[in-house]
Structure 1
Amino acid sequence: MRQWLKIFLAGFVLWVATVAVTAWTANSNLIPALVLLGSFLVPVTFVVWAYGRGRTADVTVELLFRAFVVGGLLGVLGASLLESWLLRPSVWAYLGVGLIEEGVKLAALIIVTRRMVRRTARDGLVLGATVGFGFAAFESAGYAFNALFTPVGLSLSQLVETEVLRGLLAPVGHGLWTAIIGGVLFGAGNRFTPRVILTYLGVSALHGLWDSMNAIAIALTLLFTGKKWQFDQLRIGQVPEVTEAQVHIYTVLDLGGLVVISVIGLLWLRAIARAAAKR
């Protein structure tokens, strides 16, 4: 059995056991273990998978660990600071989030790999993905922790639902985007060439579209199917009721948009990986 699959299956069994014991005993001391297991399981699994497929002599386990923990944590801290300083509510806020988070992950990748003597595009793909998955793991832990608290008390079900959802989406999120920019950066000899800059802007745009897809789906649903009375309510600052048909249309647009963004990112990554394999 492949190493990444062993890690995933063992971690999944432990996570399920932790959920069951926490629910059975109502022991809040188990919450930190549940948050960490659920948030780190998928990112760690994909890092091991990427390492197995793209391993080179220059990418050591120690470097991989630094990229995941130090790079991921530096990215989360940097993004939190910059977003609190620079972002204000606007239609461009999600694009700003994409630019900031992809920028800090790129900076974290450069910092943790600064002592590498040789760099290849394949190394950039693996280490970029590792930094991105580290970022995703720490971010998911925060989301899971916040989901625990509700107006009526602690909610184990909301915590579990948040971890499951973010685990399912993790492979086509931060790890994918940072792998793309990492592969291009290392392929360019760690220099900020026009291609590297355009790639950074491209993955930032994908990131911004991903984060804003909920709002885009709502806007498109109203644009295509909105009733006059709904627009009248919006003009006076009220949230209008929606029809059952509009709920279905919104769901299709929201999920469809995420699928399209994911496919674009995966095809982009595949093209970079193929080009790297030919060198």
Structure 2
Amino acid sequence: MTPWLRIFLIGFGLWVATVVVTTVTANSTLIPTLVLLGSFLVPVTFVVWAYARARSADITVELLFNCFVVGGVLGVLGASILETWLLKPSLVIYIGVGLIEEGVKLAALLFVTRQMLTRTTRDGLVLGATVGFGFASFESAGYAFNALFANDGLSLRQLVETEVLRGILAPVGHGLWTAIIGGVLFGAGKRLTGKVITTYLGVSLLHALWDSMHAIAIGLTLVFTGKPWQFSQLRIGRVPRVTEGQVHLYTAIDWGGLLLISVLGLLWLRAIARGPTVRVVEER
């Protein structure tokens, strides 16, 4: 059995056991264990999988740890500060979130790999993905913690549902986007060339589209099947709910959009991985 599969199966078993024991005993002290296991399982599994495929002597376990933990924490802290200072509710807020979060992950990747003298495009893919998955893990832990609090008290069901959904989507989110820019960045010798900047803007756009897909799905659903009362709510600045008759169209557009964005990202990543391998050696 491969290491990544062993890690996933053992981790998944522990997560299921924690869900069961927490449900049966109502022991709230187990909630941090549940949050951490559910938030980190899939990202850690994919980092191990990527590391095994890279087979690079320049990527050490210590460097992976720094990218995942230090890079991930610096990313979420930087994004939180910048989004609080710079973003206000508006139609373009998703673009701002994409630019900020991809920017802080890029900066974190540059920081934690600053001592690397030898690097390749593949190294950038792996280390970029590691920073992205670290960011996703800490972000998911926050979302899971927030989901715990319902109007009528603590909701273990909401927490578990949030972890399952974010775990399923994790492979085609932050890790994928930062892997793309990491590969291009390392291929450019960690210089902010025009190609790197264009890639940054491209992954930021994918990020923005991903985050805004629910709003886009509501908008398209209203274009095709909107009711007068829904347009009235839009005119006063409220987002209308979809009706039972619209929910299937809304869901199809929402998930179809996420699937399309994921496919575009994966094709982009594949093109970089299959492109010419650039090896850069820096002298001190």
TM > 0.5 between the two? yes
Q: What's 2:102 paired with? A: 102
For 1:245, what is the secondary structure of its paired residue?
coil
Amino acid of the structure 1 residue aligned with 2:136: A
Q: What's 2:77 paired with? A: 77
Distance (whole Å) between structure 2 residues aligned to residue 106 and residue 236 of structure 1: 39
**Is the Cα–Cα contact under 8 Å of residues 73 and 135 in structure 1 kept in the other structure?**
yes
Distance (whole Å) between structure 2 residues aligned to residue 215 and residue 82 of structure 1: 23
Q: What's 1:272 paired with? A: 272
Kindly tell me: are residues 110 and 248 of structure 1, through their superposed partners in 2, closer, same or farther at Cα, counting changes over 3 Å? same
**Is the Cα–Cα contact under 8 Å of residues 221 and 246 in structure 2 kept in the other structure?**
yes
Q: What's 1:142 paired with? A: 142
Distance (whole Å) between structure 1 residues aligned to residue 180 and residue 56 of structure 2: 18
**CA offset at residue 156 of structure 1?**
0.6
Instruction: Output the TM-score relative to the length of structure 1.
Output: 0.97
1:7-86 equivalence runs, <5 A: 7-86=7-86
Kindly tell me: are residues 9 and 242 of structure 1, through their superposed partners in 2, closer, same or farther at Cα, counting changes over 3 Å? closer
Distance (whole Å) between structure 1 residues aligned to residue 25 and residue 101 of structure 2: 39
Measured on the aligned residues, the alpha-carbon RMSD in Å equals: 1.4
Q: What's 1:248 paired with? A: 248
Kindly tell me: are residues 253 and 28 of structure 1, through their superposed partners in 2, closer, same or farther at Cα, counting changes over 3 Å? same
Distance (whole Å) between structure 2 residues aligned to residue 90 and residue 189 of structure 1: 37
**Is the Cα–Cα contact under 8 Å of residues 56 and 123 in structure 1 kept in the other structure?**
yes
Distance (whole Å) between structure 2 residues aligned to residue 21 and residue 233 of structure 1: 45
Distance (whole Å) between structure 2 residues aligned to residue 241 and residue 198 of structure 1: 37
For 2:213, what is the secondary structure of its paired residue?
helix
**CA offset at residue 151 of structure 1?**
1.6
**Is the Cα–Cα contact under 8 Å of residues 54 and 122 in structure 2 kept in the other structure?**
yes
The one-character-per-residue Cα deviations of 1:26-79 (angstroms, maximum 9, x if unpaired) are: 111101100000000000000000000112010001100000000000000000
**CA offset at residue 135 of structure 1?**
0.2
Distance (whole Å) between structure 2 residues aligned to residue 264 and residue 81 of structure 1: 30
5+ residue gaps, structure 1, are none
When structure 1 is superposed on structure 2, of 129-138 and 223-232 the one drifting more is 223-232
**Is the Cα–Cα contact under 8 Å of residues 4 and 48 in structure 1 kept in the other structure?**
yes
Amino acid of the structure 1 residue aligned with 2:36: L
Q: What's 2:167 paired with? A: 167
**CA offset at residue 150 of structure 1?**
1.0
Distance (whole Å) between structure 2 residues aligned to residue 10 and residue 132 of structure 1: 23
Identity %: 78
Kindly tell me: are residues 62 and 223 of structure 1, through their superposed partners in 2, closer, same or farther at Cα, counting changes over 3 Å? same
Distance (whole Å) between structure 2 residues aligned to residue 58 and residue 239 of structure 1: 50
For 1:119, what is the secondary structure of its paired residue?
strand
**CA offset at residue 224 of structure 1?**
1.4
**CA offset at residue 233 of structure 1?**
4.3
**Is the Cα–Cα contact under 8 Å of residues 121 and 278 in structure 2 kept in the other structure?**
no
**CA offset at residue 236 of structure 1?**
4.6
Q: What's 1:180 paired with? A: 180
Distance (whole Å) between structure 1 residues aligned to residue 166 and residue 36 of structure 2: 13
**CA offset at residue 237 of structure 1?**
5.5
Kindly tell me: are residues 16 and 176 of structure 1, through their superposed partners in 2, closer, same or farther at Cα, counting changes over 3 Å? same
Distance (whole Å) between structure 2 residues aligned to residue 107 and residue 239 of structure 1: 35
The reply to whether residue 220 of structure 1 matches residue 197 of structure 2 is no
**Is the Cα–Cα contact under 8 Å of residues 122 and 276 in structure 1 kept in the other structure?**
no
Kindly tell me: are residues 51 and 224 of structure 1, through their superposed partners in 2, closer, same or farther at Cα, counting changes over 3 Å? same
**Is the Cα–Cα contact under 8 Å of residues 183 and 272 in structure 1 kept in the other structure?**
yes
Equivalent pairs counted in the alignment come to 279
Instruction: Output the TM-score relative to the length of structure 2.
Output: 0.95
Distance (whole Å) between structure 1 residues aligned to residue 108 and residue 213 of structure 2: 27
Q: What's 1:151 paired with? A: 151
Distance (whole Å) between structure 2 residues aligned to residue 58 and residue 75 of structure 1: 23
5+ residue gaps, structure 2, are 280-284
Distance (whole Å) between structure 2 residues aligned to residue 176 and residue 108 of structure 1: 16
